[in-house]
Amino acid sequence: MPRLSAILVAPKTPGNIGAVARSLANFDGDELVLVPPRCKVTTRSYSRARGGERFLDERRVVPSLSDLDDYHALLATTGILGGHGNLRRTPAETDAIGDVLPGGDARVGLVFGREDVGLDNEEIELCDHVVHIPACEDYPVLNLSHAACVVLYEAYMAARTDESGVRHPPRSEKQALVSLFEDLVGRVKDESMTNEDEIVLALKRVLVRSDVTQAEFGALFKFLRHVEDQL
């Protein structure tokens, strides 16, 4: 079963941090990660945690999302959808999160943005996929702790269906394959190719949705290395 963590980017409300810790306890979470918070963890955090205090005690603080290579996949959350063709903000809805959730014992980070402005495009690009909670068009943006509760619930329910124990490659290995693919795209592109960034981003999304196993990944990486040697 995948191990689910909540990653909060620059949260500014101690109570929200505590409420997310409680949701982690509710849905068998693995870890609480803070990407430098704009507030301290306080007694208010602990009063809101209620059963999830250990996540506050054991919380990890990292400088940026790029420092989370120990995860197999990062799933960004957004309340702002992109227009047609905007791959960076083309999400899966939360009830389809199982379609993009790695299986086996993969470590999966669910990334939540700031209470006021969410995640920026650069942060979303560091993630492997995007999920969105459908809500009323008149007021579609949820409170941070409420959004985390919904996404953790949906991910937990999806994760419970996968007990295969199949090994999956970590993000560091996937990123190495994406870098190799990006290099190959750069070497074969011509004037007719104007969207190489989107081609590379599409591969990242496919790697997450395909739930690629370690063996499949190894075969694909070996083939691309062979292609590289032929160029």
Taking alpha carbons only, the member of 90, 205, 108 closest to residue 162 is: 108
Q: What is the pTM of this model?
A: 0.72
Alpha carbon dihedral 76, 82, 86, 89, in 10-degree steps, equals 0
C-alpha 146/C-alpha 126 separation (Å) is 23
**Percentage of the chain lying above the pLDDT 70 cut:** 86
Give the pLDDT confidence score for residue 194 in this predicted structure.
67
As annotated, the residues of the chain forming the CATH 3.40.1280.10 domain(s) are 3-159
Give the pLDDT confidence score for residue 13 in this predicted structure.
97
Give the pLDDT confidence score for residue 84 in this predicted structure.
47
Give the pLDDT confidence score for residue 21 in this predicted structure.
98
**Residue ranges in the chain modelled with pLDDT below 50:** 83-84, 86-87
Quick one: 3-159 is in which CATH superfamily? SPOUT methyltransferase, trefoil knot domain (3.40.1280.10)
Average pLDDT over the chain reads 85
Give the pLDDT confidence score for residue 95 in this predicted structure.
67
Give the pLDDT confidence score for residue 207 in this predicted structure.
75
Give the pLDDT confidence score for residue 106 in this predicted structure.
85
| Ordered strands of the 31-35 beta sheet | 60-61, 31-35, 3-9, 107-112, 73-77, 129-132, 92-93
Give the pLDDT confidence score for residue 162 in this predicted structure.
55
- CA atoms within 13 A of residue 62's CA, in its CB half-sphere: 16
